[in-house]
Chain A
Amino acid sequence: MKVHRHSYDAVIVGAGGAGLRAAIEAAGRCRTAVITKLYPTRSHTGAAQGGMCAALANVEEDSWEWHLFDTIKGGDYLVDQPAAEIMCREAIDAVIELEHFGLPFNRTPEGKIDQRRFGGHTRNHGEAPVRRACYSADRTGHMILQTLFQQCVARGVNFFNELHVLDVAFVDGRVSGVIAYDLATGDLHVFNTKAVLFATGGYGKMFKVSSNAHALTGDGPGLLYRRGIPLQDMEFFQFHPTGIYKLGILLSEAARGEGGILRNESGERFMERYAPTVKDLAPRDMVSRAIQSEVLEGRGVGQEKDAVYLDLTHLPPEQIDAKLPDITDFVRTYLGIEPKTEPIPIQPTAHYAMGGIPTNVDGEVVVDADGTVFPGLYAAGECACVSVHGSNRLGTNSLLDIVVFGKRGGRAMVDFVRSIDLPALPDGVEADVRGRIENLVSGAGGEKVARIRADLQAAMTEKAFVYRTEETLSSMLATLGDLVRRYAEVTVDDKGPTFNYDLTEALELGYLLDLSEALVVSARARTESRGAQFRTDHPLRDDANWMRHTLATRKGDGTVELSYKPVVGGDYLPMERKY
């Protein structure tokens, strides 16, 4: 295996919204490399649909304080309030900046950026839904990804496409490099660098029914976890209420923002019983639980009565064409249903990781309850946990997160690399990656990646989904033990150096297994229900014991150690979450 060596001031791993926004900040200010295992425009930011909230007040009265309140309440009070305040205040400038970058927002008749309703976003602390989401039809994420990529092209950002980062090198307690596998050649690339920002996105491929792309395997958090960096709040994984039945493909909350209604088998608008004020526009965790409850109580639809309907048939056809063109096309393509005349069967789908690599508001990775910064290590976007989403992210706040904290992380990283010299990078830092690859290629075991992955996804969907108990989680841990043993016996078919996806899928599965364990161990220990984590055996929120973030650390012997850090409070005191 040939090894190529590079030297940069800063390396960004991942080229979705957060990575590209950080790259715009770093380009021209320090020598920067952006590494992605895909091409930038293939990143999953492009699949985001509905919008990006900011209290522009373009169409009705609004304020960033209301946005902040909604974010904290939506996150079931596990949100760090000062961080969320930064996000909601800076949202306004972030949207304006994207407009200046060329983003084609939908416009009001006066030519201003148009705004629409979204789940959990309300006027004056919960009075009624508010029009806060800035959008571009139902392809807002596509437009953000394209626009940020366009700006990177304008700035001549230095991309390394189809390089798969598999390890990080720490020397004397600071970052000194990353190690990547070249998909086109099978060579290794060692980057000596002063700092690295991880922006690798989510890891929803640990579940069977998932809105996530195949690429979302948590490589960034996974490789850092193996190097001893803790992962925060892993138990909080969002299940989006409206995934296409069986496939899990996302149908945006914008469908309900535009007036879509959820109905059960008898046609009842059941959300009126669960959230009398905002109904279908309640936050995602509540809507997903309501759907599961309807199904469990026998009011579901579909072949196995395990879905409900999303009904758009009462909306004017021209509104559907103008505001929801892409998602209605998905329904036509994959279900053969015409959404203008027939209701759409949907079910909750694994969607978004609230947890991840712990950072402060400048994207610096913090490794303990005291906020100790690991020098040179940064993270932003879904792979990070700031924590602005708490235990349940509000719709649109992920697009906001990636641009606000991508920018802040990029800026902080530039300041850092200007203050120090390039650290030494000892020979042989690629040994671990080389060993992993050689084992997978030359191993004699007969296990297949696809079988283990399918078993993992099925078990996680059965035992660690919307509803969890001590029993299901313990059972999942036992399953994981078996899967990890089988993983050690994996051998790949493809032994060649050129576009060996058999090999990279095997490497990715390793991270999914590790992150699943961190999730399940964290979830089992948290004996309460909060936001996206619902424990049937502990159905109430327990503020006395659990107003704290989980940190999961992998010890040298492979066991998971849990510790906790307090939630950073603010003006808003926890109260019962009603909508």
Chain B
Amino acid sequence: MIDIELKVKRFNPDCDEKPHWQTFALQAEPTDRVLDALHTVRWDQDGTLSFRRSCAHGVCGSDAMVINGANALACIVLVKDAAGNDGGTITVEAIRGLPVIKDLVVDMEPFFAQYRSVMPYLVNTDDPGYTERLQSPEDRARYDDTTKCILCAACTTACPVYWGNSEYVGPAAIVNAHRFVFDSRDEAGAERLDLLNQRTGVWKCRTAFSCSEACPRGIKVTQAIQEVKRKSLFDRI
């Protein structure tokens, strides 16, 4: 066990006018997750600390937050990596660009509305009957990277353009459009590219690579956005 400090940016809409920092001192195993440290606070010290979580191993996407200044999932960052092996301070705050409701909980509705706006579903009007559509392993591999998205919003809320312009659909929505634009079975690529060709779409991207750095699933988000840009320019003449 090591001694650590968890410095959390807190806000309670029922009694606070503005956010403030609060520091909790606690003990943790170096191999504990930052999520475990947050639980230690909520369970042993202060039950009013609010944060979302569910699976606790990086697949459900509930607990994206800013840890030591960078977007990450609290359940896949270990205490030793955030605080050092001998202990230290870990700072935690809500992801940026979405309205904070309480403590580390933000309003996810704008994010999901942007996701829904890019037709994030397969469109195919052919009826293949009671048999599967064929897809070669190469065609399947073409969009594999973007199928890994868990909609945690780490990429979108790491994007400086998104911070300044919440009309921009953001990296996560584009990732989910990419997943279908490059799926050989899909028929709505042109329609989706039209949506992303608008003022709110891919051209807002300034290739800062913040999204790729933030993705806890290792998706090459910036590359996916560039591929959509390129397709939108060259494949539609």
Report if B112 contacts A (CB, 8 A): yes
B56 to A214, Cβ gap below 8 A?
yes
Residues on B close to A: CB < 8 A?
12-15, 31, 42-44, 46-48, 50-62, 76, 78, 101-103, 105, 108, 112, 115-116, 119-122, 124, 128, 130-137, 139-140, 143-144, 147-151, 180, 183, 185-186
A498 to B43, Cβ gap below 8 A?
no
- By beta carbon, the residue of chain B nearest A506 is B47
Contact of A46 among B47, B52, B59, B131 (CB under 8 A): B59
Contact of B150 among A46, A100, A184 (CB under 8 A): A46
Distance between Cα atoms of A454 and B22 in the complex (Å): 26
- By beta carbon, the residue of chain A nearest B29 is A246
Contacts of B148 in A (CB 8 A): 139, 142
Report if A231 contacts B (CB, 8 A): no
- By beta carbon, the residue of chain A nearest B43 is A450
Report if A499 contacts B (CB, 8 A): yes
B122 to A101, Cβ gap below 8 A?
yes
Contacts of B134 in A (CB 8 A): 107, 110-112
Report if A475 contacts B (CB, 8 A): no
B36 → A minimal CB distance (Å): 10
A47 to B48, Cβ gap below 8 A?
no
Contact of A104 among B46, B121, B144 (CB under 8 A): B144
Contacts of A136 in B (CB 8 A): 147
Contacts of B151 in A (CB 8 A): 39, 41
Extra A-B contacts (16), CB below 8 Å, given A41-B60, A150-B121: A42-B52, A46-B59, A47-B55, A47-B60, A104-B140, A104-B144, A106-B140, A108-B137, A109-B136, A142-B59, A142-B150, A214-B53, A333-B78, A334-B31, A448-B44, A499-B103
Contacts of A432 in B (CB 8 A): none
Contacts of A247 in B (CB 8 A): 57
B219 → A minimal CB distance (Å): 12
Contacts of B46 in A (CB 8 A): 493
Report if A554 contacts B (CB, 8 A): no
Report if A525 contacts B (CB, 8 A): no
A151 to B121, Cβ gap below 8 A?
yes
Indicate the member of B56, B60, B135, B144 with the most A CB atoms within 10 Å: B60
B184 → A minimal CB distance (Å): 10
Q: Enumerate A7-45 residues with CB–CB distance to B below 8 Å.
A: 38-39, 41-44
A6 → B minimal CB distance (Å): 18
A457 → B minimal CB distance (Å): 13
B59 to A494, Cβ gap below 8 A?
no
Contact of B112 among A39, A101, A330, A501 (CB under 8 A): A39
Residues on A close to B: CB < 8 A?
38-39, 41-44, 46-47, 93, 95-96, 99-102, 104-113, 136, 139, 142-143, 146, 150-151, 153-154, 161, 184, 213-215, 247, 249, 326, 330, 333-334, 336, 448-450, 492-494, 496-502
B14 to A502, Cβ gap below 8 A?
no
A42 to B121, Cβ gap below 8 A?
no
Contacts of A498 in B (CB 8 A): 12-14, 50, 101-102
A447 → B minimal CB distance (Å): 12
A92 → B minimal CB distance (Å): 8
Distance between Cα atoms of A43 and B151 in the complex (Å): 12
Distance between Cα atoms of A198 and B15 in the complex (Å): 37
**A153 touching B132 in the complex, CB below 8 Å, given contacts A493-B46, A499-B102:** no
A349 → B minimal CB distance (Å): 12
- By beta carbon, the residue of chain A nearest B53 is A214
B120 to A153, Cβ gap below 8 A?
yes
Q: What are 10 A-B pairs at a CB distance below 8 A?
A: A44-B54, A96-B131, A101-B122, A102-B121, A102-B122, A104-B144, A107-B136, A142-B148, A249-B56, A499-B105
Contact of B140 among A38, A107, A215, A492 (CB under 8 A): A107
**A109 touching B14 in the complex, CB below 8 Å, given contacts A150-B121, A448-B43:** no
B185 to A102, Cβ gap below 8 A?
yes
- By beta carbon, the residue of chain B nearest A37 is B54
B132 to A499, Cβ gap below 8 A?
no
- By beta carbon, the residue of chain B nearest A156 is B116
- By beta carbon, the residue of chain B nearest A502 is B47
Distance between Cα atoms of A448 and B39 in the complex (Å): 13
Contacts of B150 in A (CB 8 A): 41, 46, 142
